[in-house]
């Protein structure tokens, strides 16, 4: 996604922040045999952060997630109805 949308894209930043979160990485690496048990609030934070990402990539209109398609040379990163288009300028932060 970072290659297609660039690093200043708000969704890319959310995903990168989520992936870099130590709690999430440790949870994924050690979920079978954790050295220390995870507390309910820690798990809740991980799940809430993921739900936040999902809410940004699921269309309110067609209720489908975004997908990548290349049609007639144009790259779409949008839901099937094209209402949610992640290539729209509104998702990019202005660089100063």
Q: Is the pLDDT of residue 96 over 50?
A: no
Phi, psi at 25, each rounded to 5°: -60, -45
Query: Which helix H or strand E contains 4, and what residues bound it?
Result: helix 2-5
Mean pLDDT computed over 33-48 = 79
Average pLDDT, rounded, for the chain: 82
| Cα separation, 61 vs 80, whole angstroms | 10
pLDDT, tens digit, 9 for 90 and up, residues 45-86: 888 989 999 999 999 999 999 999 999 998 899 999 999 999
Cβ neighbours of residue 24 under 8 Å, at least 6 residues apart? 18, 46, 49
| Cα separation, 36 vs 68, whole angstroms | 39
Q: Is the pTM of this model over 0.85?
A: no
């Amino acid at each position: 996604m970072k290659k297609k949308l660039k690093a200043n894209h708000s969704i890319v930043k959310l995903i990168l922040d989520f992936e870099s979160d130590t709690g999430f990485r440790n949870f994924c690496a050690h979920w079978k045999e954790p050295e220390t048990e995870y507390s309910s609030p820690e798990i809740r934070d991980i799940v809430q952060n993921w739900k936040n990402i999902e809410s940004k990539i699921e269309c309110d209109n067609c209720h489908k997630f975004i997908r990548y398609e290349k049609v007639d040379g144009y790259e779409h990163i949008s839901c099937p109805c094209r209402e949610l288009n992640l290539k729209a300028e509104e998702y990019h932060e202005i660089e100063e």
